[in-house]
Chains A and B, each alone.
Chain A
Amino acid sequence: MPIEIKMPAITPDFDVGNISSWDKAVGDKVAKGDVLVAIETDKAVIEVEAESAGILGQIVIPAGTDDVAVHSLIGYLLIDNETIADLPNAPAAGQPAATPEVLDVNPENASSAAVTSAPVITQAKELDDKQPQRLFASPLARRIADQHQVDIHALKGRGPRGRILRADVEHALSTKGPDAILALPAASQSSQVKHNQIRKVIAQRLVASKQKIPHFYLSVDCEIDSLKSMLKELNANAPKSLNSTTGSKEATYKLTINDFLVKAVAKAMEQEPQVNSSWTDTAMLHHEDIDISIAVSTDAGLITPIVRQANTKGLASISTEISQLAATARNGQLQAHQYQGGGFTISNLGMYGIDNFSAIINPPQACILAVGAGKQKPVVKNGELAIATLMNLTLSADHRVVDGAVGAKFLSVLKRFVESPAHLML
């Protein structure tokens, strides 16, 4: 019997996805572990591997098909010298194959891999990495999450051994950012270029943010000459290790201003914890952990991976973590826990030479920091003109959570860290 290839349940809550591409053509030999097909979810593209060897016998649902339900039959894999004649919908013997999707397979090409009796041979890579996948949540928590369309897998359980309890779901409901919600508005039927899932989520979140959150903006220029020389010195003295691919010795880290800002913002949030809060209709939520989201531009759109507990981490580990997160994000491989949550976002457009800009808050966070380019400018010091490298920081804040004075204090603390980084040591 040919093995049915079914749409995998990439995450337990995953109902439909788009088949973004088939990596094998009909008739291709498939080894166990080969990538068969790429599935696009709302946040990432997941490559699905073959669990058995064989020959791709038929593609039932072609690439580019959207909203394919989990467990739908998407193709057939021929094993053990099977031919297309063995396919359930194969033409009767003696008749030519009717569909060009089905290729006459030469038995010689077929692999003699062990037969698996599992009806579904595909499994998402993500699942492999995260065994066991069983979700620990109370029945009541599941019921309430279901009723309010909360993505229970995105929640952090505070019960015994991380079990998700009703209180966790209610907490998510009270801080209800679009991230926690599964339901997305129906895609427009008349649009010429269809939205991908990421685009839809970005649109929904940003509209909600601008419509609901009373933004106000605070802007300050910081002198970053000391910061630049500190980073230069740190980078010059970075320990070197052998890169196994290039064979050359490379520095283990290269600290950037952005890495420093993550740390500095986190430390400034320690001093002004109100910034690390979220508005809900009934109560103010003060977050314990200081988790910083970093805006990363990808081909598919903007995504904000998170450096967790950034206040507790050193610059080198923040730097490494950001590089890895950004690379994963650009590959479309971020896992939900890597981008859901966060208490503050940093958006840096300095590399494009932007002087300053005002960012839209990333709900349910209360603040976002827009970072401009560092440029040499004339400044007046002690009544005389001098040259300094100035970088603009513009804070967008939710006035329901952060009052002007609180935002200003936060920004002044941050400015002090940026202008004299030694203060971070205090």
Chain B
Amino acid sequence: MKSFDLVVIGGGPGGYVAAIRAAQLGMSVALVEAEDLGGVCLNWGCIPTKALLKSAELIDKIKQADKYGITVNDYSFDLSKMVKRSRQVANNLNKGIGHLLKKNNISVISGIAKLLGAGKLAITATADSSKASSELQAKHIIIATGATARAIPGLEPDGKYIWSARDAMTPKHLPKSLLVMGAGAIGMEFASFYNSLGVQVTVVEALNYVLHVEDEEISNYAAKAFTKRGIDIKVATKVLKIERHEGGLTVHLNGGDNPADAHQQLEVECLISAVGVVGNTQHLGLQNTSIECDNSFIKVDQWQATHEANVYAIGDVAGAPCLAHKASHEGMICVEKINGLEHVRPLNKALIPGCTYGSPQVASVGLTENKALAAGHTLKVGRFPLAASGMAAASGDTEGFIKTVFDADTGELLGAHLIGADVTELIQGFVVAKNMETTEQELMDTVFAHPSISEAMHESVLDAYTRAIHI
């Protein structure tokens, strides 16, 4: 039986980062992966969808070419090439992870790992296989198995009419119409992509807002922007029933409290379900340990330790927010704590940025205005429209605004909420600021380069203190 200082189960952005950090700290490390290195994020999530959205963005730009003085007489797109490019990007990065792991002398083991207790693990080729292909002994075990889209009874993906996220990332043809269930980040990104490609998209959300974790103003702005692009958004609406028939689906909707909206009926060709995720714990053999779960997610402490000694969980399987960068960071913190490094700080979830891609993009960090008020803060709130930004005007991307929320007493930056083109790259300025515990003063004193969209960040801060120059 091979023995390691650390065995990481799952090679996604949580697992492989934890493995590399552990190797840097001198541990002998094995990483067990059932499918592809890089996990859902790299292979079937963040990365391939961003590749597809880039194609969609180009289409959007071509549609506006005339605005920039460019005459495009005709254009067409090849869906299969778009998909091929996105798969290529994912494959290249996947290989890159393999190289990184090899460079760090990490043993990559293909298979499914099952905990046997007392630091022992059985590796099997498939989940059902009872015969272990090998056994491992580990001083420490990190579970980083991620999460899977929540399955809804009656909505099991068939690859034809009801699509899984993978189906939606590898379409063979463009449907005429598409229903997206769930207006979270994943749902809105698919909605945005297929809308850009000319598909009639309807989004159904049970809650009252699209992107409901975002600030209410941002959600409302996003809903309007997506509606303007031709996406039909139905909030406070539930899917009651779906009938499959040749050529598509009949979807029965219940429009919430308003009786006038009740029992709508919708004909669509395809449906994507994006209503949350569940933790991947079913094959881990948790019954052999004292690990406790909250629904499908493993319970951990601030250092990612589970209820079983020397077993840790990071990333999606350890609970929300289910974000790749949260997983990576938890992986590093967990490994550093195991190694007794000084100055390891538990992850402060208020400092984890959230990004939604598509058109427009949405990015945020910290408290929304409503949550800040609910937490008892007296607020100063600043807003700056990108329409007033010189750089945004020059780029022709004036949709969106930047909102900043400060504690009126201490000047603490409580939250920042951005919507508009490329704001997912801007948010990091506020994340660094928050992590350094800056107040409005340092942000006001910071020189922002001109011309840049980032100037709007500065103006938003100034506006919170009624000092904005350009509005």
Cβ distance A68 to chain B, nearest Cβ, rounded Å: 30
Q: Is the CB of A166 within 8 A of B437?
A: yes
Contact check: which of B343, B345, B409, B441 meets A139 at CB < 8 Å? B441
Q: Is the CB of B437 within 8 A of A141?
A: yes
- Map CB proximity to A onto B397-431 as digits: 1 under 8 Å, 0 otherwise: 00000000000011110000000000000000000
- Known contacts: A165-B437, A166-B437. The answer to whether A140 contacts B411 by CB under 8 A is yes
On chain B, the residues within 8 Å of A161 by CB distance are 343
Task: Report which residue of A143, A147, A159 has the largest number of chain B beta carbons within 10 angstroms of its beta carbon.
Answer: A143
Docked pose: A141 CA to B439 CA in angstroms: 9
Cβ distance A10 to chain B, nearest Cβ, rounded Å: 27
- Map CB proximity to B onto A232-276 as digits: 1 under 8 Å, 0 otherwise: 000000000000000000000000000000000000000000000
Docked pose: A141 CA to B410 CA in angstroms: 9
- Map CB proximity to A onto B133-149 as digits: 1 under 8 Å, 0 otherwise: 00000000000000000
Docked pose: A187 CA to B411 CA in angstroms: 34
Who on chain A is nearest to B411 by CB? Answer: A143
Q: Is B438 an interface residue (CB 8 A)?
A: yes
Q: Is the CB of B438 within 8 A of A160?
A: no
Q: Is A90 an interface residue (CB 8 A)?
A: no
- Map CB proximity to A onto B143-187 as digits: 1 under 8 Å, 0 otherwise: 000000000000000000000000000000000000000000000
Cβ distance A91 to chain B, nearest Cβ, rounded Å: 47
Who on chain B is nearest to A138 by CB? Answer: B437
Q: Is A25 an interface residue (CB 8 A)?
A: no
Cβ distance B163 to chain A, nearest Cβ, rounded Å: 46
On chain B, the residues within 8 Å of A173 by CB distance are none
Cβ distance A165 to chain B, nearest Cβ, rounded Å: 6
Cβ distance B337 to chain A, nearest Cβ, rounded Å: 15
Who on chain A is nearest to B433 by CB? Answer: A139
Docked pose: A165 CA to B435 CA in angstroms: 10
On chain A, the residues within 8 Å of B437 by CB distance are 138-141, 165-166
Docked pose: A295 CA to B469 CA in angstroms: 59
Docked pose: A140 CA to B410 CA in angstroms: 7
Q: Is B261 an interface residue (CB 8 A)?
A: no
Q: Is B72 an interface residue (CB 8 A)?
A: no
Q: Is A206 an interface residue (CB 8 A)?
A: no
Q: Is A202 an interface residue (CB 8 A)?
A: no
Contact check: which of B343, B410, B438, B442 meets A147 at CB < 8 Å? B410
Docked pose: A161 CA to B345 CA in angstroms: 12
Q: Is A120 an interface residue (CB 8 A)?
A: no
Who on chain A is nearest to B445 by CB? Answer: A139
Docked pose: A161 CA to B342 CA in angstroms: 9
Contact check: which of A143, A159, A160, A165 meets B410 at CB < 8 Å? A143
Q: Is A144 an interface residue (CB 8 A)?
A: yes
Who on chain B is nearest to A140 by CB? Answer: B437
Q: Which of A155-169 contact B (CB under 8 A)?
A: 159-161, 165-166
- Known contacts: A160-B343, A161-B343. The answer to whether A147 contacts B439 by CB under 8 A is no
Q: Is the CB of B439 within 8 A of A143?
A: yes
On chain A, the residues within 8 Å of B343 by CB distance are 159-161
CB contacts between A and B, total, < 8 Å: 31
On chain A, the residues within 8 Å of B260 by CB distance are none
Q: Is the CB of A147 within 8 A of B436?
A: no
Who on chain B is nearest to A164 by CB? Answer: B437
On chain B, the residues within 8 Å of A166 by CB distance are 412, 437
Who on chain B is nearest to A161 by CB? Answer: B343
Who on chain B is nearest to A146 by CB? Answer: B410
Cβ distance A173 to chain B, nearest Cβ, rounded Å: 12
Contact check: which of A139, A141, A160 meets B442 at CB < 8 Å? A139
- Map CB proximity to A onto B435-461 as digits: 1 under 8 Å, 0 otherwise: 011110110000000000000000000
- Map CB proximity to B onto A161-186 as digits: 1 under 8 Å, 0 otherwise: 10001100000000000000000000
Docked pose: A166 CA to B411 CA in angstroms: 12
Contact check: which of A138, A144, A159, A165 meets B438 at CB < 8 Å? A138
On chain A, the residues within 8 Å of B438 by CB distance are 138-140
Q: Is the CB of A147 within 8 A of B409?
A: yes
Cβ distance A137 to chain B, nearest Cβ, rounded Å: 9
On chain B, the residues within 8 Å of A143 by CB distance are 410-411, 439, 441
- Map CB proximity to A onto B335-365 as digits: 1 under 8 Å, 0 otherwise: 0000000010100000000000000000000
Who on chain A is nearest to B344 by CB? Answer: A160
Task: Report which residue of A139, A143, A165 has the largest number of chain B beta carbons within 10 angstroms of its beta carbon.
Answer: A139
Docked pose: A108 CA to B334 CA in angstroms: 72
Docked pose: A159 CA to B437 CA in angstroms: 11
Cβ distance B340 to chain A, nearest Cβ, rounded Å: 16
Docked pose: A86 CA to B409 CA in angstroms: 51
Cβ distance B85 to chain A, nearest Cβ, rounded Å: 41
Cβ distance B93 to chain A, nearest Cβ, rounded Å: 31
Q: Which of A113-170 contact B (CB under 8 A)?
A: 138-141, 143-144, 147, 159-161, 165-166
On chain B, the residues within 8 Å of A159 by CB distance are 343, 345
On chain A, the residues within 8 Å of B439 by CB distance are 139-140, 143
Docked pose: A138 CA to B409 CA in angstroms: 16
Docked pose: A138 CA to B413 CA in angstroms: 13
Docked pose: A161 CA to B412 CA in angstroms: 22
Docked pose: A147 CA to B409 CA in angstroms: 9
Docked pose: A314 CA to B436 CA in angstroms: 40
Who on chain B is nearest to A141 by CB? Answer: B437
Docked pose: A138 CA to B410 CA in angstroms: 12
Cβ distance B240 to chain A, nearest Cβ, rounded Å: 48
Docked pose: A369 CA to B410 CA in angstroms: 40
Q: A139-B438, A143-B439 are in contact. List 20 more A-B contacts (CB 8 A).
A: A138-B436, A138-B437, A139-B436, A139-B437, A139-B442, A140-B410, A140-B411, A140-B437, A140-B438, A140-B439, A141-B437, A143-B410, A143-B411, A143-B441, A144-B410, A147-B410, A159-B343, A160-B343, A160-B345, A165-B437
B positions within 8 Å CB-CB of A: 343, 345, 409-412, 436-439, 441-442
9 tightest A-B CB contacts, nearest first: A138-B437, A140-B437, A139-B439, A139-B438, A160-B343, A139-B442, A143-B439, A140-B412, A166-B437
Of the A-B pairs whose beta carbons lie under 8 Å apart in the complex, a sample of 11, sorted by A's number, is: A139-B436, A139-B442, A143-B410, A143-B411, A143-B439, A144-B410, A147-B409, A159-B345, A160-B343, A161-B343, A166-B437
A positions within 8 Å CB-CB of B: 138-141, 143-144, 147, 159-161, 165-166
